[in-house]
């Protein structure tokens, strides 16, 4: 509650406030080279956190929602509620350039997994 006052949000906003930070974290681990392929995160999200398989996984779902919408929402929420919602640089760059989250990285900085 910002300023101690209740807020009114829709069911869709609740879903987004829960899942957009997960997409953001997926962007961080992609950017840091923890995983190489976005599809690995899709499989992990379906098998590891029971993300609905019919949605294709967290990164695939993020692409269907759109990096721009996710980035704008997270940026707005980070200003209202703090750094938990702060968008990653990877997400910011993808949103600015209109590149899907699942597109291969343009550089070889994440050429191998750290795991």
Q: Is 6 a member of any domain? A: no
Q: Is 13 a member of any domain? A: no
pLDDT at 106 over 80: no
Q: Is 2 a member of any domain? A: no
pLDDT at 107 over 90: no
Q: Give the tokens for residue 60.
A: 């695939």
Q: Is 105 a member of any domain? A: no
Range of the domain at 45: 19-97
pLDDT at 18 over 50: yes
pLDDT at 31 over 50: yes
**Burial label, 58 (beta-carbon count in 10 A; 0-12, 13-18, 19+):** buried
How many domains, the chain?
Answer: 1
Q: Is 10 a member of any domain? A: no
Q: Is 104 a member of any domain? A: no
Q: Which of 1 and 17 is assigned the larger pLDDT?
A: 17
Question: For 101, what's the count of Cα atoms within 13 Å in the CB-facing half-sphere?
Answer: 35
Query: 9-13, 70-74, 94-98, 102-106: lowest mean pLDDT where?
Result: 102-106
pLDDT tens-digit map of 51-100 = 999 999 999 999 999 999 999 999 999 999 999 999 999 999 999 999 99
Average pLDDT of the chain is 91
CATH classification of the domain holding 82 = 1.10.1040.50
Q: Is 103 a member of any domain? A: no
Q: Is 40 a member of any domain? A: yes
List the beta strands (DSSP E) in the chain.
none
């Amino acid at each position: 509650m910002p300023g101690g006052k209740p807020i009114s949000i829709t069911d869709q906003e609740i879903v987004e406030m829960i899942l957009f930070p997960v997409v953001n974290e997926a962007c961080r681990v992609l950017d840091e080279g923890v995983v190489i392929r976005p599809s690995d995160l899709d499989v992990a999200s379906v098998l590891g956190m029971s993300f609905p398989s019919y949605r294709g996984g967290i990164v695939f779902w993020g692409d269907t929602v759109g990096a721009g919408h996710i980035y704008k929402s997270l940026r707005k929420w980070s200003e209202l509620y703090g750094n938990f919602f702060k968008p990653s640089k990877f997400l910011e760059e993808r949103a600015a350039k209109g590149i899907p989250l699942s597109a291969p990285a343009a550089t070889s900085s994440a050429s191998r997994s750290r795991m």
